Copies of this chain bind each other. A is one copy, B any other.
Amino acid sequence: MRFLHTADWHIGKKLHGYDLLKNQEAALKEILAIAQKEQVDAIVVAGDLYDRSVPAVEAVELLNRCFYEMNLESNIPLLAISGNHDSGPRLATGSPWFSQNQFHLHTTMAQALVPVELSDVQFFLLPYFEPIEARLYFDEELTTIRAAVARVLEEMQQAFDPAKKQVLVTHFFVAGSSRTDSETTLAVGGLDSVPKDLFAPFDYVALGHLHSKNALKEEKVRYSGSLLKYSLSEMNDVKGVWLVDTEKSESIFQPLPVMQEIRSLEACFAELTDPKFYQALNRSDFWHFTLTDRAVIPNMMNQLRNIYPYILGVERVSGQASLPTTRPTRSQQKSPEKLAQTFFTEITGDALTTKQKSWLEKGLIAANEIEKRAVLCNQEN
């Protein structure tokens, strides 16, 4: 059989305060179009459908509409789980009725142990859970995610049908993966990640949680990545879905078109506000600027927002590229004037002007006076 693997939709998520619902809706429509064109046998969504446990009404409306179009209108089987961003019990609303139309939305551990069978494949849909849930379910001392997932997978194997293939759908951090900035860290430390060796019994593992499809370099254990670019660090990511063929044992990545790019640019303020410069840019994208100016620019953000409506942030060039890579000699050996001059040059890349030198001198004299007085006072007391 062939299925489409997606995850981390985060419906309702905002990017630096900007609403992403329209972009999310367009991407979801694209996923449905791919599923229809490729005539897949199922769409698999590996958790984090919503961005919050209590999503906004508009987010609820979008996800309801999306599921309706995929499952009831287009009659495509849906296999989904709750992620760490979802509230399992809230997301479960309606699920007993969904399953009557081949829409299996699993939010509990008990559900994960009963496979959903579609043609020759057993799907195990394991939602995100905390170790305490496994501890209560198995009545065993399971204190880490690693131990809890291992126990669950061991239990699952008792339901394996040797005549069928097995696919696991789940939502955890797999050891050895690389992160982006938009994922919520589940916990700290190696015991809260799942070693990929545990997945060996499965023919394919459809993962959610990490936002890059390249987070893990494995053939059969894959993150699909998120629906959209959800942070500046994902700027150069390609977002899309995996088309998995269980007979051929292959998965092909299908990119999604980008509605609104995230772009980063280093320029001076005069350039950014010059029509000749900015008319060549796609100003309806999300922009992050690194300003090369050093002077104070009054009303800077408002001036930039008038030209670029979606600004993710503005930084100043820090000149850190010219920082010495070796530790400087003991600073105690330098005079305060010399220290201040070196610091200024390290940060800005420039030497002090005559005027700046005169300010520094006056400032140091004043500071010296204050220190002298403080020493005197301390002696008097």
A residues sitting closer than 8 Å to B (CB atoms) are 54, 57, 60-61, 64, 68, 72, 87, 89-90, 92-98, 100-101, 103
Q: Roughly how many angstroms separate A95 CA and B64 CA in the complex, as a whole number? A: 9
Number of copies: 2
Cβ–Cβ < 8 Å partners of A101 in chain B = 97, 100
From residue A209, how far is it (CB to closest CB) to chain B in Å? 22
Cβ–Cβ < 8 Å partners of A97 in chain B = 72, 94, 97-98, 100-101, 103
Contact yes or no, B96 A57, CB < 8 A: no
Cβ–Cβ < 8 Å partners of A89 in chain B = 57, 60-61, 64
What are 10 inter-chain pairs, A to B, with CB distance below 8 A? A54-B54, A57-B87, A57-B89, A60-B90, A64-B93, A72-B97, A94-B94, A94-B97, A94-B98, A100-B101
Cβ–Cβ < 8 Å partners of A57 in chain B = 87, 89-90
Among A89, A97, A100, A103, the most chain B Cβ lie within 10 Å of the Cβ of: A97
Known A-B contacts A100-B100, A100-B101, A101-B100; the reply to A93 vs B54 at CB < 8 A is: no
Contact yes or no, B94 A93, CB < 8 A: yes
From residue A57, how far is it (CB to closest CB) to chain B in Å? 5
From residue A128, how far is it (CB to closest CB) to chain B in Å? 16
Residue of B nearest to A93 (CB): B93
Q: Roughly how many angstroms separate A93 CA and B94 CA in the complex, as a whole number? A: 7
Partner of A92, one of B54, B64, B87: B64
Cβ–Cβ < 8 Å partners of A92 in chain B = 64
From residue A45, how far is it (CB to closest CB) to chain B in Å? 16
Q: Roughly how many angstroms separate A94 CA and B67 CA in the complex, as a whole number? A: 9
Cβ–Cβ < 8 Å partners of A90 in chain B = 57, 60
Q: Roughly how many angstroms separate A310 CA and B83 CA in the complex, as a whole number? A: 39
Cβ–Cβ < 8 Å partners of A95 in chain B = 94
Cβ–Cβ < 8 Å partners of A93 in chain B = 60, 64, 93-94
Q: Roughly how many angstroms separate A61 CA and B90 CA in the complex, as a whole number? A: 8
From residue A293, how far is it (CB to closest CB) to chain B in Å? 46
Q: Roughly how many angstroms separate A94 CA and B94 CA in the complex, as a whole number? A: 5
Residue of B nearest to A97 (CB): B97
Contact yes or no, B96 A72, CB < 8 A: yes
Cβ–Cβ < 8 Å partners of A103 in chain B = 97
Residue of B nearest to A55 (CB): B90
From residue A88, how far is it (CB to closest CB) to chain B in Å? 9
Q: Roughly how many angstroms separate A57 CA and B86 CA in the complex, as a whole number? A: 12
Q: Roughly how many angstroms separate A345 CA and B18 CA in the complex, as a whole number? A: 67
Cβ–Cβ < 8 Å partners of A98 in chain B = 94, 97
Q: Roughly how many angstroms separate A89 CA and B57 CA in the complex, as a whole number? A: 7
